[in-house]
């Protein structure tokens, strides 16, 4: 079924926290949490010492503090993490050009063509981990397997600071005892549906009849789960992954109901999104907002424009309309703005409207990009953002 195990999934251990410890060695061995320095933030990364107290990513900072009051809470420094990420990815590319970056801190590597240069996939994994520790003072976990799904499972099982090699003839032995939640795409609800049918391990799913699976999770998901349960995943390592969306969100220090304050925050988020879109030569047609209410109920609303945009003013206008229509005057705890359906700005062509002034908002924003590149952030910004800092808690989290 598989000839070789030559896909690697490399996942950095507690990445943001580890980058912090790297520059503050005194913190080594302590519970360190990144994110949520304010009251309301969300944990973005935690060392294994902190995780021992039950602290997890995406947990409200308040709860993390309650779990471990003596943990060290640090504000995020996205710039430093982005830099560290670039160095890590560059290290991977020394071994193979087939690197599919999944996020700032994980990637798939296809090393099938690297055998001659660097040795077997297992030897390459050992080498990567050794060089990561020596050159970056960071640890990572690696899964070596015949395909992406299994490699990712492997690295998860190997965490922290470990590696697992799943040889082709050891796949089922490794896979079948795992709980169904290990299967990609199985969340809480699917897990429950499967359990009701008496399917609790991956092996159970593999042995279950298709009809039974279909009854539990529906036609499409049944096919998908059945394939995975037998360790089959035909996705290739793709280097051309283009982000399909990009967004930015922020959690407020205290819940905000004031429309004017929200507008300022939306403008600020829209600018971040637009600036990043322009920097990446992409534009998106769909604008979505994510709203979290005081009771943690979270909704998203989106609208698709006629033509792709990378203009903050357009994103802002749409995002404000979506927010006000969906909010119904309620207080918000978190707000996010996202640009979706990204396309490359091919040859940077853009269809202006007939009644558009010759010098548009976009021109102004592109000029701002240039000034920012030269003099730093925040030198030029909209008048409404000059005096007041937008309502915000934790630093806006760039997301891909």
Partner 1 sequence: MKFRVERDALADAVAWTAKSLPSRPSVPVLAGAMLRVTDGRLQVSGFDYEVSNQVDVEVQADADGATLVSGRLLAEITKALPAKPVEMAAVGSHLELVCGSARFTLPTMPVEDYPSLPELPASAGRVDAPTFAAAVAQVAMAAGRDETLPMMTGVRIELSGDKLALLATDRYRLAVREITWAPDDPSIDVNALVPARTLADTAKTLGPLGGEVTIALGGSGGGAGEGMIGFVGGTRRTTSRLLDGQSYPPVRSLFAPSYSSEARVTVPALIEVVKRVALVAEKATPVRLSFSEDGLVVEAGGTEEARASEAMETVVPFTGETMTVAFNPQYLLEGLSALGAPTAVFSFNDPFKPAVITPAGEDGAVIEGFRYLIMPIRVGR
Q: Which of 58, 211, 354, 383 binds partner 1 (CB under 8 A)?
A: 354
Please report how close the Cβ of residue 274 comes to partner 1 at its closest, in angstroms: 14
Residue 348 binds partner 1, judged by CB under 8 A? yes
Give the distance between the most distant pair of CA atoms in the chain: 66
Q: Which of 144, 231, 142, 146 is nearest to 184 (CA)?
A: 231
Residue 134 binds partner 1, judged by CB under 8 A? no
Structure tokens at 46: 């935690």
Residue 295 binds partner 1, judged by CB under 8 A? no
Q: Which of 366, 372, 380, 381 binds partner 1 (CB under 8 A)?
A: 366
Residues forming a β-bridge with 15: none
Q: Which of 211, 355, 357, 383 binds partner 1 (CB under 8 A)?
A: 355
Buried-exposed string 84-105: b where 16+ CB fall within 10 A, e elsewhere: bbeebeebbeebbebbbbeebb
Residues forming a β-bridge with 338: 247, 288
Q: Which residue has the tokens 């760039």?
A: 398
Are the CB atoms for 290 and 334 separated by under 8 Å? Answer: yes
Residue 240 binds partner 1, judged by CB under 8 A? no
Alpha-carbon distance values, 190 to 95, 127, 187, 268, 300 (Å):
38, 38, 5, 38, 22
Is the Cβ of residue 156 or residue 239 nearer to partner 1 in the bound state? Answer: 239
Q: Report the catalytic residues.
A: 106
Are the CB atoms for 182 and 176 separated by under 8 Å? Answer: no
Residue 301 binds partner 1, judged by CB under 8 A? no
Residue 346 binds partner 1, judged by CB under 8 A? yes
Q: Which of 349, 357, 376, 387 binds partner 1 (CB under 8 A)?
A: 349
Q: Which of 89, 53, 55 is nearest to 45 (CA)?
A: 55
Q: Which of 307, 326, 373, 379 binds partner 1 (CB under 8 A)?
A: 307
User: Which window, 1-9, 63-71, 149-157, 303-311, contacts partner 1 (CB under 8 A)?
Assistant: 303-311
Residue 351 binds partner 1, judged by CB under 8 A? yes
Residue 26 binds partner 1, judged by CB under 8 A? no
Separation between Cα atoms, residue 296 and residue 255, nearest integer Å = 11
Are the CB atoms for 66 and 56 separated by under 8 Å? Answer: no
Kindly state the DSSP code that residue 395 receives in the 8-state scheme: P
Residue 359 binds partner 1, judged by CB under 8 A? no
- Phi and psi, residue 346, nearest 5°: -65, 120
Please report how close the Cβ of residue 321 comes to partner 1 at its closest, in angstroms: 9
User: Which window, 75-83, 84-92, 106-114, 354-362, contacts partner 1 (CB under 8 A)?
Assistant: 354-362
User: Which window, 85-93, 262-270, 349-357, 377-385, contacts partner 1 (CB under 8 A)?
Assistant: 349-357
Is the Cβ of residue 122 or residue 321 nearer to partner 1 in the bound state? Answer: 321
Separation between Cα atoms, residue 81 and residue 279, nearest integer Å = 18
Please report how close the Cβ of residue 190 comes to partner 1 at its closest, in angstroms: 30
Q: Which of 82, 352, 373, 378 binds partner 1 (CB under 8 A)?
A: 352
Q: Which residues bind partner 1 (CB under 8 A)?
A: 303, 306-308, 343, 346-356, 358, 366
């Amino acid at each position: 079924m598989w000839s070789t195990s030559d896909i690697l999934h490399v996942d950095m251990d507690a990445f943001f926290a580890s980058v912090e410890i790297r520059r503050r060695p005194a913190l080594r061995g302590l519970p360190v949490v990144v994110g949520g320095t304010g009251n309301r933030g969300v944990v973005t990364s935690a060392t294994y010492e902190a995780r021992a107290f039950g602290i997890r990513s995406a947990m409200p900072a308040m709860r993390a503090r309650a779990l471990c009051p003596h943990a060290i809470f640090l504000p995020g420094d996205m710039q430093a993490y982005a830099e560290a990420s670039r160095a890590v990815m560059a290290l991977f590319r020394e071994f193979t050009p087939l690197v599919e970056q999944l996020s700032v801190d994980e990637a798939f590597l296809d090393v099938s063509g690297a055998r001659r240069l660097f040795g077997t996939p297992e030897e390459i994994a050992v080498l990567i981990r050794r060089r990561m520790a020596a050159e970056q003072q960071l640890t990572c976990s690696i899964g070596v397997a015949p395909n992406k799904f299994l490699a990712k499972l492997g690295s998860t099982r190997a965490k922290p600071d470990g590696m697992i090699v799943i040889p082709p003839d050891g796949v089922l032995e490794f896979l079948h005892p795992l709980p169904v939640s290990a299967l990609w795409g199985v969340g809480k609800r699917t897990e429950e549906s499967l359990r009701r049918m008496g399917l609790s391990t991956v092996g159970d799913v593999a042995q279950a009849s298709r009809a039974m699976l279909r009854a539990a999770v529906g036609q499409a998901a049944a096919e998908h789960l059945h394939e995975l349960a037998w360790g089959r995943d035909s996705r290739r390592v793709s280097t051309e992954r283009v982000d399909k969306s990009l967004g930015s969100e922020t959690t407020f220090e205290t819940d905000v109901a004031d429309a004017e304050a929200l507008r300022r925050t939306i403008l600020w988020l829209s600018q971040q999104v637009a600036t990043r879109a322009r920097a990446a030569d992409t534009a998106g047609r769909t604008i979505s907002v994510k709203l979290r209410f005081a009771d943690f109920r979270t909704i998203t609303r989106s609208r698709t424009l006629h033509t792709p945009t990378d203009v903050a003013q357009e994103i802002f206008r749409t995002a404000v309309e979506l927010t006000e229509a969906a909010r119904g005057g309620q207080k918000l705890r978190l707000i996010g703005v996202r640009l979706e359906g990204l396309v490359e700005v091919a040859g940077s062509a853009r269809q202006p409207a007939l009644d558009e002034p010759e010098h548009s908002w976009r021109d102004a924003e592109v000029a701002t990009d240039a000034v920012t590149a030269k003099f730093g952030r925040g030198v030029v910004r909209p008048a409404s953002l000059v005096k007041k800092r937008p309502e915000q808690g934790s630093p806006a989290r760039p997301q891909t």
